[in-house]
Amino acid sequence: MDFLNTLTDNTELFRKGFLGTLALTGSSALIALVLGTLMAAFRVSPVPVLRWIGTTWVTILRNTPLTLLFFASVFAVPKLGLNQLTYFVLAMATLGFYTSAFVCEVVRSGINTVPIGQAEAARSLGLTFSQTLRTVILPQAGRTVIGPIGSVLIALTKNSAIAGGFNVVELFSTQKTLTENANPLFAVFFWIALGYLLITLVLSGIFRGLENRLAVAR
Amino acid sequence: MSATVLFDTPGPKARARSKAYTGITGLALAALLGWIGYRFWVTGQFDASMWARFEYTDVQWAIVQGLLTTLKVFAIAGAASLVLGAVLAVGRLSDHAPVRWVSAVIVEFFRAMPLVIMIYALYRWQFTDRPMWALVIGLTLYNGSVQAEVIRAGINAVPRGQAEAAYALGLRKSQVMRVVLVPQAVRSMLPTIISQLVVTLKDTSLGYVITYEELLYVGNQIAATTNTPNGFPYVQVMMVIAPIYIAMCLLLSWAARAIERRGGRTTSTGAALAGAGMAAGD
């Protein structure tokens, strides 16, 4: 009974935490998808400087601990006088930037699966680089990487927990508050785990559905 | 498809355009860097008092200690996760359904949980006085589960003839696994295994959340205990700590890539299957 009481006595905290995780994951996913695709475009572009920016962005972000990034954005960035940003905005940007590096690599691998003939045909029709990429390559690449993008977003959901250690209200911060208020440890862990499982299972379901609908037969 | 297929060999017009874009991007980058430098300047980050603390040997030693602690946790958790991974991988391929089932549940559960949730629960449960073990056990369970999937994919990618030949020679099931399949699987999966070790190394910084004195936590302490007229030197600590982390991870990543290039043994399907964790940013 204790088990259920932990949930029913603290519904408000759990609700806030769950919604916090949803909001954080959703908003940073949006940043990651847009920025990641842009960086992938940079990495295959004809301009060397842009390629360099894309490569550097990915290399640095993939080799930096996310906790360190959070630490830097929460403690160091406000020291530069940017102290009007809320913890949520900082966490959203941190997660979005970090994840964009992984989105970039996934999209780039998708670009590599598009048959060479597609790009050659596009070029021989006289399309420019950005037209080739926008109208021919990316639509096809996007369809082949739906599965991997799903994995990236599931990892993002799990990574968003770290934000709870940096003053953002989400499921991990709920776990901390409840555990520190002497609620049964395993009951709290169970309900928090269930919350994350719910999000990741729904995400993987959505992406499996998308994959089936949009898959290209080759 | 290589990148060069996406655009023609640049002619004079394209070269000019490319130069223009390079100029614009360079200006934008310079403006960004200049703005950051300006923010540094107006908030007094270049002030000597902000940096003086790093000249003291006790602070330098604290950083070295933090680095060694991080490396210690990484060594224990990395080794333990490889052992656990091998055990779970073999377990998932066992002929006995209960063993298979238990291994699968362990692997799927620990892969699905956010690591920090688990480490914190362990910390509050049994390891409040010994946060290192909360961190090590959490890292081992999570990364071990991921390594299990990597090694399993590697075992499945070993050509069937290998196992058949081993059985034909009269080896027992456990011998076939131990002597023939696992060594080949580990070898072919080495780049992916090392990539996952990079993830393990990165995640040691979660020790910060449970107040364990690894590198990031030490950095925080240095910044929080240095009160200067310009505030606490968090920016400076970041500029010292971050390169250390990035350098360590880059070294490991490069090792993985070097082995991948040299070995040429990685089966592309296996690597694609198993590399999903690292590629996804777990």
DSSP string across A192-213: HHHHHHHHHHHHHHHHHHHHHH
Backbone angles phi, psi at B228, to 5 degrees: -110, 165
Residues B216-250: tens digit of each pLDDT? 999 999 999 988 888 899 999 999 999 999 999 99
Of B1, B114, B202, the CB nearest to A65: B202
Q: What Å distances lie between residue A81 and B9, B220, B228, CA to CA?
A: 46, 19, 16
Domain extents for chain B? 3-42, 49-280
What is the per-residue DSSP string for B70-104? HHHHHHHHHHHHHHHHHHHHHHHT-SSHHHHHHHH
- Using the Cβ of A32 and the Cβ atoms of chain B, whether some distance falls under 8 Å is answered with no
Evaluate the CA torsion angle A101, A103, A109, A111 in order and state its sign.
negative
CA atoms within 13 A on the CB side of B271: 16
Contacts of B78 (CB under 8 A, 6+ apart): B143, B197, B200, B201
Q: Is A149 on the interface with B (CB under 8 A)?
A: no
Q: Tell me: the pLDDT tens digits for A122-165?
A: 999 999 899 999 999 999 999 999 999 999 999 999 999 999 99
What secondary structure letter does DSSP report for A216? P
Per-residue confidence at A79, pLDDT binned at 50, 70, 90? confident
Touching check for A96 and chain B: CB below 8 Å? no
Tokens of A179: 């555990």
Q: What is the mean pLDDT of residues B171-199?
A: 93
For A160, nearest residue in chain B (alpha carbons): B114
Mean pLDDT of chain B: 89
- Average pLDDT in the B179-200 region? 93
Please indicate if any CB of chain B lies within 8 Å of the CB of A183.
Answer: no
Q: What is the mean pLDDT of residues B84-91?
A: 95
Written out in words, the top-level CATH class of the domain with range B49-280 is: mainly alpha
Q: How far is CA A110 from CA A137, A146, A148, in A?
A: 9, 9, 9
Q: How far apart are CA B51 and CA B56, in angstroms?
A: 10
Contact A64, B249 (CB under 8 A): yes
* Percent of chain B with pLDDT strictly greater than 90: 73
Q: What is the pLDDT of residue A218?
A: 62
Does residue B281 have a pLDDT over 80? no
As a whole number, mean pLDDT of residues B16-31 equals 94
> How far apart are alpha carbons A94 and B177 in whole angstroms?
43
User: How high is the pLDDT of residue B249?
Assistant: 95
A10-49: pLDDT as tens digits: 899 999 999 999 999 999 999 999 999 999 999 999 999 9
Amino acid at A128: T
Task: Give residue B272's pLDDT.
Answer: 47
**Residue B280: is its pLDDT beyond 70?**
no
B231, B253, B277 ranked by CB distance to A63: nearest: B253
What are the C-alpha distances in Å from B45 to residues A143, B227, B239? 47, 13, 11
* Whether A127 contacts chain B with CB within 8 A: no
- Going by pLDDT thresholds of 50, 70 and 90, the confidence category of residue B269 is very low
Determine whether the interchain pair A197/B245 forms a contact, defined as Cβ–Cβ distance below 8 Å: no
The domains of chain A are located at: 2-214
Rg (CA), chain B: 24
CB A100 within 8 A of CB A32: yes
Task: Give the ranges where chain B is alpha helix by DSSP (H).
Answer: 12-42, 48-51, 57-92, 97-112, 115-125, 131-157, 160-168, 173-175, 182-203, 215-224, 234-263, 268-274, 276-280
- Topology of the domain comprising A2-214: MetI-like fold (1.10.3720)
- Supply the pLDDT for residue B49: 86
Confidence of residue B260 (pLDDT cuts 50, 70, 90): confident
